[in-house]
Amino acid sequence: MSRLGDLIRTERIRQKMTPKQVAKKCGVSESYLLAVEAGTRIIADDQARRILKSIGLKQQTEAEFTLDDIAATVDLAQVQPRMAAAVQAAKKPPKKEAELAASTEEAESVAGSVWLDALQSVLKRVPVMNAVMKPVSYQLVPVENGRIEGANPDKVFFYLAPDDSMRGFRIHRGDIVLTVPAQSPVDGAIMLMNYNEHRYLRKVKVLDDRNVLLQSYDREYESETVPINEIGFLARCVKVTFELI
């Protein structure tokens, strides 16, 4: 079964619509829709989006994930059992009317947030921060076992390299560098730091328990020995992304 077909079927079931009802709204035959859901018929992305929109799934979710992101990343085999459990919970007749309302509300909440929950378990919308630490864009980053590069997903961010001072270390102006929190020097790491009322990317060499060597490399290699207590370490750089021209 294709991811888009599986997504269409799952959302159709969540909306409690029959294949015939969806097919009629979309202007296609019921057999065509069933073939798409089964993954035996290839469907273009724009057609899939039209079908999903007609079912009721919004083009953009509250977490600002697109339908393409959903189709490409969500493990629908894991998502669907949660939806089935929500539907079964709604079918069980509670003893009291108040319990019925609470049960229905809970089931709808689970089903309604299933895409957001599933996406947040595999992707994180990580901000790209500029030199003054303001977000200028976002990147989707995989989350593994609830962590990104071993760190809390809410604490990581990309830093937009403001200059070529680190190009000798393969970081050029305009590259985005994924960082994880680090408030103390890491020997041999490229780190983001505050120093002399400015924010820098520098490679760090720990000299002793009081001093570090800050290294840069634009047109030529430069280094400076600085007391650790004069530096505010912000993050350790773990990956760099650049645009191909």
pLDDT at 56: 75
Which pLDDT band holds residue 245 (cuts at 50, 70, 90)? Answer: low
pLDDT single digits (tens) 148-163: 999 999 999 999 999 9
Q: What percent of the chain has pLDDT over 70?
A: 69
Q: Which of 223, 219, 211, 220 is nearest to 200 (CA)?
A: 223
pLDDT at 118: 52
Alpha carbon distances (Å) from 4 to 10, 44, 89, 146, 221? 10, 9, 27, 25, 51
Contact 138, 170 (CB under 8 A): no
Residue 209 scores a pLDDT above 70 = yes
What are the φ and ψ backbone dihedral angles of 222, each rounded to 5 degrees? Answer: -135, 150
pLDDT single digits (tens) 35-51: 888 878 777 767 777 78
Angle at which helix 97-112 crosses helix 76-91, to 10 degrees, equals: 170
pLDDT at 201: 97
Segment of 25-34, 58-67, 95-104, 156-165 carrying the highest mean pLDDT = 156-165
Gyration radius of the chain's alpha carbons: 25
CATH tag for 1-74 (out of 1.20.190.20, 1.10.260.40, 3.30.2420.10, 1.10.3720.10): 1.10.260.40
Alpha carbon distances (Å) from 158 to 85, 126, 141? 38, 7, 10
Lowest mean pLDDT among 14-18, 30-34, 39-43: 39-43
Residue 190 has a CB neighbour count (10 Å cut-off) of 21
Lowest mean pLDDT among 7-16, 176-185, 188-197, 211-220: 7-16
pLDDT single digits (tens) 84-129: 554 455 455 554 555 545 544 444 444 444 455 555 557 788 999 9
pLDDT at 33: 87
Q: What is the CATH number of domain 124-241?
A: 2.10.109.10
Q: Which string of DSSP letters, residue by residue, matches 188-238? A: T-EEEEEETTEEEEEEEEE-SSSEEEEEEESSSEEEEEEEGGG-EEEEEEE
pTM over 0.75: no
For the chain, the average pLDDT equals 78
3-state secondary structure 43-61: CCHHHHHHHHHHHCCCCEC
Q: Could you tell me which residue, 180 or 107, shows the higher pLDDT?
A: 180
Q: Could you tell me which residue, 41 or 206, shows the higher pLDDT?
A: 206
Q: Which of 227, 183, 10, 201 is nearest to 111 (CA)?
A: 10
pLDDT at 144: 84
Q: Where are the domains of the chain?
A: 1-74, 78-112, 124-241
pLDDT at 241: 86
